[in-house]
Amino acid sequence: MLTVEEIETVPFEGQQPGTSGLRKKVKVFLQKNYVENFIQSILNVNEELEGCTLVVGGDGRYLVKEVVDTIIKICAGNGVGKLIIGQNGLLSTPAVSHLIRKNETLGGIILTASHNPGGVDNDFGIKFNTSNGGPAPDGVTNEIYRHSTIIKSYKIVPNIKCDITTIGITRFKIEDKDFVVEVIDSVKDYLDYMKEIFNFPLIKTLLEGSEDKKKFNVLIDSMNGVTGPYVKRIFVDELGATEDNLRRVVPMEDFGGIHPDPNLTYAEDLVREVRKGDYDFGAAFDGDGDRNMILGRGAMFVTPADSLAILASWLHVIPYFQRTGVKGFARSMPTAAAVDLVAKEMNKEMFEVPTGWKYFGNLMDADRLSLCGEESFGTGSDHIREKDGVWAALAWLNVIAHSGLSVKELLMRHWRKYGRNYFARYRKILYIK
């Protein structure tokens, strides 16, 4: 029988989660008890912890596997009933959100620093999502921080050993309580959900071509992040693309030394390939799979604001929204107002929210929001409570397949009807003597 130990500890300064969890340098997380303190603080704020189920996964960056092991030990010591963990600790942030909602779990712990660089000298992060599948609201993150400032001990089962490399269920007896760890295929549930949302046969015909149309050539870049396995299963196995249509699809602990942020600066080599190659469409995703960049032929760049507005205009052609109906739209405050014009034309509610995906979730839970986005390359819908990069690319392909229009034609059509909206992003650096 495995037993619980209570280990004395002292608080660390600065364990205040931001809009997307706690992010620090790897070397900060490597301090003795640093991870243990924060995981215990997350568990302490959840009153229904006893016997609950949590989802656990991360983007594959340096330290993910070690922290998953720590989470298993601490959850076992705190009466958690079951953990659902992605094989090898891998789960995209959108996949975690879906798994939380599908399995009606108490929440999930996501190990990611999103689009920040990885590796021993770079960044790591821990984020808690609540039972709606979305990032913990301010009230919860403030409580996590408060607990982190007064923590005196954490509970752990130090001798528990669980293989997360093999899919399957492992059962443990922790004193008089049952504890289950289920290691799942990281991709399957998310893939099945995408097949419900989109018209995969239609997209497959687009990508493979037909007697009267040449194949629509795509180049999809996972930037050595977590979406690699998702992209291979979706685009190659399901939609008929080839390995030549993919790049950087092997998750790496340091993302291959690149900055996994899908924009014109950090995905410049993708832009260059799409520009010089025979590609109709390009897409890139960030480290944890929630951000996206969309390109057309000749590397025509689709701004996040235009992407949001064009998808809003065509949302009705996607099977998921044919079933659920199109509700309102929303954007973050810094995002250009292109979607506002679409909402007015369609007589839909339009919301402007502060920066942080958690602020969209309340509107989705109130059944008032179908589609939302932010200028930092995030797009998503009410299918989950996170932004979703792969979803955004599939949404574009569904629209293209249905309309018969190219990326450029969709953009030009939108601009002719609504005009062009712009935004500028400034970085302010303060020098304090």
Using DSSP's 3-state secondary structure scheme, residue 132 falls into: coil
Per-10-residue mean pLDDT of the chain, 433 residues long, equals: 95 90 96 98 94 97 97 97 98 98 98 93 96 94 96 97 97 95 98 98 96 94 98 98 97 96 95 97 97 97 96 98 97 92 97 88 94 92 97 98 98 96 69 57
User: In this structure, are strands 369-374 and 378-381 parallel, antiparallel, or unpaired?
Assistant: antiparallel
Q: What is the CATH superfamily name and number for domain 188-418?
A: Alpha-D-Glucose-1,6-Bisphosphate, subunit A, domain 3 (3.40.120.10)
The third-level CATH classification (topology) of the domain covering 5-185 is: Alpha-D-Glucose-1,6-Bisphosphate; Chain A, domain 3 (3.40.120)
The residues near 323 (Cβ < 8 Å, ≥ 6 apart) are none
Whether the CB-CB separation of 39 and 66 falls below 8 Å is answered with no
The widest CA-to-CA distance across the chain, in whole angstroms, is 71
Rounded-to-integer distance, Cα 365 and Cα 190, Å = 20
pLDDT of residue 425: 67
* 17-40 core/surface letters (b: 16 or more CB in 10 A; e: else): beebbbbbebebbeeebbbbbbbb
- Radius of gyration of the chain, Cα coordinates, nearest whole angstrom: 22
What pLDDT does 433 receive? 55
Strands 292-296 and 281-285: antiparallel
In this prediction the pTM is 0.95
The DSSP symbol for 263 reads: S
For the chain, residues classed under CATH 3.40.120.10 are 5-185, 188-418
Handedness of CA 250, 256, 262, 268 (dihedral sign): negative
Handedness of CA 232, 233, 239, 243 (dihedral sign): positive
- Tell me the residue length of the chain: 433
Among residues 92, 97, 114, 222, the one annotated as catalytic is: 114
Q: How far is CA 351 from CA 198, 369, 373, 380, in A?
A: 25, 9, 11, 14
Catalytic residue check, 97: no
CB-based contact 358:135 (threshold 8 Å): yes
In 64-114, which ranges are continuous DSSP H helix? 64-77, 93-103
In 3-state terms, what secondary structure has residue 116?
coil
Note the pLDDT of residue 211.
84
